[in-house]
Chains A and B, each alone.
Chain A
Amino acid sequence: MYDVIVIGGGPAGASAAIYLQRFRLKVLMIMKDLGTLGKTNHIDNYWAFENTVSGKHLVEQGVAQATRLGVDVIEEEVIGIENFEDFVVKTTKNEYNGKTVLIATGQSKANLKVKGFKEYIGKGLSFCAVCDGFIYKNKKIGVIGNAEFMLEELEVLRNFTKDITVFTNGLGLPLHIEEEIKEKLVTEPLCEIQGDEVVKKVITQQDEYDVDGLFVAIGTPSANDFALRIGAFTENNYIVVDNNHMTNVPGLFAAGDCIGGLLQVVKAASDGAHAAIAINKFLKKIK
């Protein structure tokens, strides 16, 4: 059992992990890759770097620093967080238990650019199988996605109906994912989502498909996806936290770009430090 599981290895996650480690807490930091910052080539406004530095360099150095100080760092993709008495963080490979969780996975982006997408959110278009799957018992469901996150949703939806179509929206489908799909599979890009008051049809480049409900699980889950499933408040795609960086779910914290504000390294690092101090206090209180 970890004291804290930090999801994300960027400036918010790694700063938090470093501070938490110094409180002598047992910390696990899970990161999928180098994140958005890892793709940024030129950073000229971060303190104490005389020359331009790359985001990749910063992230790698942060992870190396956390590792040197004793944080367990693993490279896995988190696909879900569950909360019973403690938290269970599920990755594509393992499950980890923690007393608290810090979400520091960066900014969540609305992820489907298809006509009708925004219009039908909450009207047959869902981002959460556990939340809404039951409503489509024995009905026609479409699932949009192409990776482990989609499989996770698909598995939940199989409990409710046999009539499922998987849409990859033209995205690459890894062989090991394709092998797991027993349902109808449509790989061409989507053109439009149609309906009246609720979703009725998915139009692709070649064809059209009747659906009663459509579940979106593209790529990897975002901070918002985690928040939605666990019942944390969000606003405009950002997780809502209090002054201690805690969400409305006790023990669940968030820091960095996923809570909004200034989307800069310096603010994310500061968030991480703040959150770590608050988490330490929280853990002392629940002991």
Chain B
Amino acid sequence: MSVKATTETFKKEVLESEVPVIVDFWAQWCRPCLMLAPVLEEISKDLEGQVKVVKVNVDEEGYLANQFRVSSIPTVYLFENGQVKNQVVGLMRKDDLLKRLGLK
């Protein structure tokens, strides 16, 4: 299961996480984002305990979207030990996404 993060909870959910975190910047009106959602849910199940999936709604969390210079959605970040390790823009298949994030 993915977890929703807000500006208030981002530090705790992402930056202080003990496992790597996939952060998905998305919005309800973005069709490719909606199609990426099941891919991320699958990843969170496949890698349960090893990787955490966190979702940030760019409409509600403009501050976070700005902070991470999100200019196209879906944008997916991989955080490890509080640092950005990889960034992937756009909808893609599970395997492609894992490869691009360096998780495969």
A166 at the interface (CB under 8 A from B): no
User: Residues on A close to B: CB < 8 A?
Assistant: 121-124, 126, 128, 130-132, 134-135, 197-199, 213, 228-235, 240, 248-249
Given contacts A135-B65, A228-B32, A235-B92, could you give 12 more A-B pairs where the C-beta distance is less than 8 Å? A122-B72, A123-B71, A124-B72, A134-B29, A134-B58, A135-B70, A228-B90, A229-B32, A231-B32, A231-B33, A234-B92, A248-B93
Residues of A within 8 A of B96 (CB): 235
Give residues 45-65 of B contacting A (CB, 8 Å).
58-59, 65
B104 at the interface (CB under 8 A from A): no
- Give the complex CA separation of A230 and B32 in angstroms: 7
Cβ-defined partner of A231 (8 Å) among B31, B58, B70: B31
Q: Could you tell me if A240 and B72 are in contact, using CB atoms closer than 8 angstroms? A: no
Give residues 85-101 of B contacting A (CB, 8 Å).
89-93, 96
- Give the complex CA separation of A231 and B65 in angstroms: 21
Q: Could you tell me if B29 and A130 are in contact, using CB atoms closer than 8 angstroms? A: yes
Q: Could you tell me if A231 and B35 are in contact, using CB atoms closer than 8 angstroms? A: yes
Cβ-defined partner of B93 (8 Å) among A122, A213, A235: A235
Name the residue of chain B whose CB is nearest to the CB of A240.
B93
Q: Could you tell me if A124 and B71 are in contact, using CB atoms closer than 8 angstroms? A: yes
What is the minimal beta-carbon distance from B100 to any residue of chain A, in angstroms?
A: 11
Cβ-defined partner of A134 (8 Å) among B27, B32, B35, B93: B27
Residues of B within 8 A of A199 (CB): 71
Name the residue of chain A whose CB is nearest to the CB of B70.
A135
- Give the complex CA separation of A103 and B58 in angstroms: 31
Name the residue of chain A whose CB is nearest to the CB of B74.
A131
Residues of A within 8 A of B90 (CB): 122, 228
- Smallest CB-CB A-B distances: 9 pairs: A231-B35, A122-B89, A231-B31, A231-B32, A124-B71, A122-B72, A132-B72, A233-B93, A131-B30
